Chains A and B, each alone.
Chain A
Amino acid sequence: MTVVVKCAGVGRTYPGPPPVDALQPADLTINRGEYVSIVGPSGSGKSTLLNIIGLIDRPTSGHYILDGVDVASLKEADRTALRGQRIGFVFQSFHLLPHRTAVENVALAQLYVGPKARQRFLNAAEALAKVGLSHRAFKMPNTLSGGERQRVAIARALVNQPALLLCDEPTGNLDSATSSMILDILDQMHADGYTIVIITHAPDVAERADRIITVRDGVLHV
């Protein structure tokens, strides 16, 4: 079984004064195809963990190997490329560009990766079809419902076929019916073989995952 995320003694201390240990050194392994949820109260350090796993933040201790690449030894440009190509982000507040159509927002994920504009468009249309939004492809985000926006964001996260799908409170801004639809889509992606890490407050959301990791006061309880 291939390991996608391997953390060995990964910790994060924010420099003071006084220094804050946001994340105590911890070990974590996530295999390909796993569906993992990370739960914990706010301020517990789960966002710090997500940022480190997502290559948005650097750990202050330990080693982190993403999809076989030791991230600590990488230059910033290579980390950025790795982030763009191997990780798909889904955010609580969707983070779509307001003046671009749904399909343009999805295509944006490949802007810095390499395909030509036409190919980007085709890939984006295909990703939108996967989340069932082909009929809304040319709508502006402000004409879409919250659930539709999050599905566009999921399509954007999937279009590069990332090694890891990182979802930060993906249902935090949605009502329960819409949440359940989004979670169904994530289940579908899990069934397709994607590796998914989801951060959430909600126990019912966390329970849909294979494995639940709890973070409390910066300490990981695997």
Chain B
Amino acid sequence: MSRRSRLSLRDLFSEALSGLLQRPGRSMLTMLGTVLGIGSFVAILGLTSTAAGQIDKRFTELAATEVRVEDVGADRVSHEMSFPMDAHDRVMAIDGVVTAGLLWPLPLRNPTMSAVPGMGASDEGLSLHAADPGALEAAGPVVASGRLYDAFHEGRAERVAVVGAAVARRLGIQRLESQPAIFLNGTPFTVIGIVSDLRRLPDLLLSVIIPTATALALYGPPIEHPATMLIETRLGAARVVADQVSIALRPDAPNRLKATAPPDPRSLRGNIAGDLNALFLLLASISLVIGAIGIANTTFVSVLERTAEIGIRRSLGARPRHIAAQFLSESAILGTLGGVIGSALGVIAVVAVAVLKSWTAVLDPATTLAAPLAGTIVGVAAGLYPGLRAARIEPIEALRQ
């Protein structure tokens, strides 16, 4: 009795491989669909997670280092704000604080604002704020021209102002060399700086900002619109600082102040552009299906072309399952190669975009490493029908010519 025919995995693999290599051009073209499908999958997932990572990172970097302290006990009777006069020094003594300062909207009703004395009507769009140099620094300013005021101006209650770029345009201030003045209800202030951005206080960009000492001397303490303390902390210190700051400022009455710590960064992550994501993934799936059809088609054509080979193999003792396994392996190898190349191209695309945008590439290992496997699955699925068809070819028909 003869031993039944067999085919080792190694031999199967090398037969399948030489089957593919005998038509390398066609194999490459066949792979293309899978390459595109898997590649766009990896690229889309990688790009969205990278983009989401950047948005989250910028958001949390600012938010995670920011503590705000509200004055919730401003006393209308004694006309005092809850912050002590040495608030700045007390806060700066807390470990982890980078800069800190007070700010409040000025208690002026319908102020007139003008770059020319005697003229000017109240301007609805613009507002007035007092901020000490610490608050100005903590706001994350980007100075477009001139300078910010400092402890010197604050100490002498100088009448100086820093304005947002839009305010400067509206007031007709272009150059600071001539030391332009603006008049608030007729009081002149020298504009010494124009800021193009205040990253933590973007709403103050439409504002004229003056030192707090000047504001106290001219308009009194903030009662109706209480003061806020803006604290910039070192990364990771915000929650600890928030716990301590009320007691550090007012050990006698800590509950007159309310410190707000940043939210937990982890709760901020997620669902950015989720809908767009789904649409792109649908497109990638379609391209993957087209890739699978391409492999199935080519494998099927190759089965028809190689009928004589199938006949020879059957006459040499190959069982139908060996024939099926060979064609299935060929399509599985095509799918896997397509998956590997596609994943590589997808990763390259993500990294290239990240480099161009100066982002940190974020790739989920679960999807990136699984992508070549998805290619294998596509290949096996595509080879199933042609493989079974090949197995059903009878040697008697295959050898007849």
Binding site for B on A (CB under 8 A): 51, 54, 56-57, 69, 76-78, 80-87, 89, 91-93, 95, 97-100, 108-109, 111-114, 117, 156
* Residue B335 lies at the interface, judged by CB distance under 8 Å to chain A: no
B80 at the binding interface (Cβ < 8 Å):
no
Residues of A near B314 (CB, < 8 A) are: 80, 83
B399 touches A80 (CB 8 A): no
Please count how many residues in chain B sit with their CB below 8 Å of the partner chain's CB atoms.
30
Stretch at the interface among B45-53, B96-104, B127-135, B304-312: B304-312
| Residue B220 interfacial (CB < 8 Å) | no
**Cβ–Cβ < 8 Å partners of B396 in chain A:** 51, 56-57
Q: What 1/0 flags go to B311-322 for Cβ under 8 Å of A?
A: 111111111001
Task: Provide 26 A-B residue pairs closer than 8 Å at the C-beta atoms, listed in order of the A residue.
Answer: A54-B315, A56-B395, A77-B319, A80-B317, A80-B319, A81-B317, A82-B2, A83-B315, A85-B2, A85-B3, A85-B317, A86-B2, A91-B399, A92-B401, A95-B312, A95-B399, A99-B21, A100-B18, A108-B312, A109-B316, A111-B318, A112-B6, A112-B316, A114-B6, A117-B14, A156-B316
With known contacts A51-B396, A93-B401, A112–B318 Cβ distance under 8 A = yes
State whether A112 and B2 are in contact (beta carbons under 8 Å apart), knowing that A80-B314, A83-B315, A99-B22 are contacts in the complex.
Answer: no
Interface centre among B5, B10, B308, B319 (most CB of A within 10 A): B5
Determine which of A56, A81, A100, A108 lies in contact with B2 in the assembled complex, contact meaning CB atoms within 8 Å.
A81
User: Which residues of the other chain, B, contact A69 by a CB distance below 8 angstroms?
Assistant: 1-2
Q: What 0/1 pattern do residues 290 to 332 of B give for CB contact below 8 A with A?
A: 0000000000000000001101111111110010000000000
Residue from the list B6, B309, B322, B399 in contact with A97, Cβ < 8 A: B309
Partner of A84, one of B1, B18, B316: B316
Complexed CA–CA distance, A210 and B265 (Å): 94
- Taking CB atoms, residues of chain B closer than 8 Å to A156 are 316
Is A111's CB under 8 angstroms from B11's CB?
Answer: yes
Interface membership of chain B positions 1-30, coded 1 if the CB is closer than 8 angstroms to chain A and 0 otherwise: 111111100110011001001100000000
Q: Which of B340-396 contact A (CB under 8 A)?
A: 395-396
CB-defined contacts of A51 to chain B, threshold 8 Å? 396
CB distance from B380 to the nearest CB of A (A): 22
Bound CA–CA A161/B305 (angstroms): 30
In the complex, residue of chain B having the shortest beta-carbon distance to the beta carbon of A54: B315
Given contacts A56-B396, A93-B401, A111-B11, contact A81 B3 (CB under 8 A): yes
Determine which residue in B15, B18, B317 has the highest number of CB atoms from chain A within 10 A of its CB, and name it. B317
A113 shortest CB reach to chain B, Å? 6
CA distance A138 to B5 in the complex (A): 27
Contact residues in A for B313 (Cβ distance below 8 Å): 108, 111-112
Q: In the complex, A30 Cα to B22 Cα: how many Å? A: 41
Cα distance A111–B9 when bound, in Å? Answer: 12
Is A111 a contact partner of B2 (Cβ separation < 8 A)? no
Binding site secondary structure of chain A: mixed
Q: A54-B315, A95-B311 are in contact. List 20 more A-B contacts (CB 8 A).
A: A56-B396, A69-B1, A77-B4, A78-B4, A81-B5, A83-B314, A83-B315, A84-B316, A85-B2, A87-B315, A89-B315, A95-B308, A95-B399, A99-B21, A100-B18, A108-B312, A111-B7, A112-B322, A113-B317, A156-B316
> With A and B bound together, what is the CA distance between A117 and B13 in angstroms?
12
Is B4 a contact of A97 with CB atoms below 8 Å?
A: no
Point out the residues of chain B lying under 8 angstroms from A84, CB to CB: 2, 5, 315-318
A46 to B15, CA, bound (A): 34
A81: chain B residues within 8 A (beta carbon): 2-5, 317
In the complex, chain A residues whose CB is within 8 Å of the CB of B316: 84, 108-109, 111-112, 156
Q: Looking at A78, A80, A117, which has the most chain B CB atoms within 10 Å of its CB?
A: A80
Q: Is the CB of B315 within 8 A of A111?
A: no
Complex CA–CA separation, A57 to B394 (angstroms)? 9
Complex CA distance for A210 and B382, rounded to whole angstroms: 53
A197 CB → nearest B CB, Å:
15
Asked if A114 and B3 sit within 8 Å, CB to CB, the answer is: yes
Closest 3 CB pairs of A and B: A84-B317, A99-B22, A112-B5
In the bound complex, CA of A121 to CA of B21 (Å) = 20
Chain B contacts of A111 at CB under 8 A?
7, 11, 15, 313, 316, 318
A105–B198 Cα distance when bound, in Å, is 77
B22 to chain A, nearest CB (A): 3
Closest beta carbon of chain B to A141's beta carbon, Å: 12
Q: B394: nearest residue on chain A (CB-CB)?
A: A56
Write out the residue numbers on chain B whose beta carbons fall within 8 Å of the beta carbon of A113.
Answer: 5, 317
* Cβ–Cβ contact A117 & B11, under 8 A: yes
Chain B residue at minimum C-beta to C-beta distance from A96: B312
Q: How far is the CA of A193 from the CA of B199 in the complex (A)?
A: 97
Residues of B within 8 A of A86 (CB): 2
Residue in B closest to A109 when the chains form the complex, CB atoms:
B316
Smallest Cβ-Cβ distance to A108: which chain B residue: B316
Give A85 to B316 CA distance when docked, in angstroms: 8
Q: How far is the CA of A108 from the CA of B310 in the complex (A)?
A: 12
CB distance from A95 to the nearest CB of B (A): 5
* B3 → A minimal CB distance (Å): 6
Q: A64 CB to closest chain B CB, in angstroms?
A: 15
Chain A: minimal CB distance from B235 (Å): 61
A57, A100, A114, A117 interface centre (most CB from chain B within 10 Å): A114
In the assembled complex, the Cα of A109 lies from the Cα of B316 at a distance in Å of 5
